[in-house]
Structure 1
Amino acid sequence: MNDRTAGALRSPITFSVFAGLVIGALLLLGTGANPLTAYGEVISGSLGEDGIGSTLTTTTSVLGLALALAVPLRAGLINLGGDGQMVLGGITAAVVGLYSPLPAPLTVVAALIAAMAVGAAYAALAAVCENHFGVPLLVSSLLLSYPAMSLASYLARYPLKEPGSSLPQTRAMPDGVDLPAFGDSTVTVGLVLVVLAAAGYWFTDRRTAFGYEIRMTGLNPRFSAYAGVRRAGLTLKLMSVSGALAGLTGALGVLSFPYRFVDGALTAPGYTWTGLTAALLAAAVPLGTVIASFFFGVLQVGGLAMERTTEVPRELTQVLQAIVIVFLAARLRLPRRASRQKKKAAV
């Protein structure tokens, strides 16, 4: 076993995932289920021929929100307003799609750009609240989600509501105002867009001075401030990018099936919190965020298949997510405590 392999096996992420799977297996044994059968159904149900499309579609939304939250998290900033920014992006895309006089392909582009602009502006508002009014970003971003979701709900239920429908949803997008799909699957070019966003995040993080400033701020804010990094300006930039990615994710959900804005459809699956979990698991590292998002996409889709086949509730996959994060937090905390104890003993 070489040093790189040994290091990967000792990494906090690998340890946390492995520990989560082991405890999940014990829970399954406690319910009388066969862990191997249950986990096998998760894999086959999510990565098999019938499930891979749903997994990639779910991963598109999870990865979009994970990237949106990972960008500020890389600098030690936590954006909890993903739901509001995503919903505003979705309703903006719906409005542009329904009323734009442009040809269908240009309308799709305009809807995506408008959704990103609105999401960026709304996330920047949370940064302004912290920079100028002293409201912590954690609080301002979360509280700003509620008026955003309420506004989108009002628009979907009244001015934009589909006539004759009992559901709180807008009218369907006109013909051609949608994202092209791959073959007969539900996977659209939205997956390509979020992968390109991940590639851009990686390039910025690893190959630019701005990415270095972000990493240094996350590792040591006092050092970065001493080196001349203006935290207020950095917060505004990162929150704008974060909101743009969240708005893009909302637009992808509207321009894909069911090709309309449905009140609650974007927030009900919990993409924001799953994305935050993925970003935390990967420590906001670009490649790790992509892998973690796919991992949680597999768990979400595979959990449904497991429930259908083995009668094990799909909520077990949510328990696994929670266990992974708990072990990751403990794994990252223990070395720091051990290091402090060694320093005290040396003194």
Structure 2
Amino acid sequence: MRLVYRLCGVVLVAIIVTVAAFLYWWNRPIPLAEDYRFVVVEGATLSSISRELAGLGLIEYPVLLARAGRVLQVDRGIHAGHYLIEPGISPKGLMQLLASGDTLLSKLTIPEGLTARQIMDLIQSQAELEQSLTGIDDPRILSRFQSVGGVEGWLFPDTYRFTANTSDKDIIAIAHNRMQKELDRAWQRRSENTQLETPYEALIMASIIEKETSHAGERGEISGVFHRRLAQSMRLQTDPTVIYGIGEAFDGDITRAHLRDKGNIYNTYQYGGLPPTPIASPGRASLEAAVMPKEGTSLYFVADGRGGHVFSDTLAQHQQAVRAYLQKLRNN
């Protein structure tokens, strides 16, 4: 009987020592000197994650970690994504972090005024995104935007935050849906005196305004000029549309030959009305300006050499403003 008691005592001591050792290891900080960004891929198991952590030298005993996680049912709630592992965290804390789904968000900023091709290049430069598209001419993009006149102008410029396993196609879809909402919102608030007949025309107008100025106070006035010109059947005569039509061949210098080129269907010096499509992705302010033009009498504007524009009511006034601008360029 004494032998049984002794054996039970030995077993009990062994259990106590084992549990104590486990708790010590379970709660002891892992050997990490600085923040580490750890990626859990879609479909990863607790065993594969534990082996990867061990391979990085972040934990010992990966089998023990995996088994402990299963006992605690952590394996049922692990979320794919990027996790920030900080110094001082324990194996227990690691399991809690992975089960929390508290993943890091990556960020992509699409500036106003970019073309669809430029936006696609920006998206494809993001290493955090899963790349599935071949480019802006990918058949899946062409199919998605076929019913709305093409992709140009339909990707809303903003800062988008996304988790791991987000794809380039996902960002395209999110930016498109956002532009649809912003355009609908602006169209519902349109002025009674707008010359625009459809939301798509508003998108085209907004894209031109976006490329003409970055000054918030000028957008409405530029919109007013364009609306009055449309009302009087005057050509818009706006350089950004010509430049867009030239495409990659444009070297930064717009010439008289460019302005006379009837082969450029975006040449608003040669063709009346709006160009066939947007020429860039406009932001909210330009969308609002497009449908709420500022009242006035000006029909012309030219750069003032300081980042803004000089607005004129008559051609004679405009020509004088152009001469002043050219003189300023020569002086500089």
| Structure-2-length-normalised TM-score | 0.25
* Greater strand fraction, Structure 1 or Structure 2: 2
Work out which of the two has the higher radius of gyration on C-alpha atoms and give 1 or 2. Answer: 2
* Greater helix fraction, Structure 1 or Structure 2: 1
Relative contact order, higher structure (CA 8 A, sep 6+): 1
| Structure-1-length-normalised TM-score | 0.25
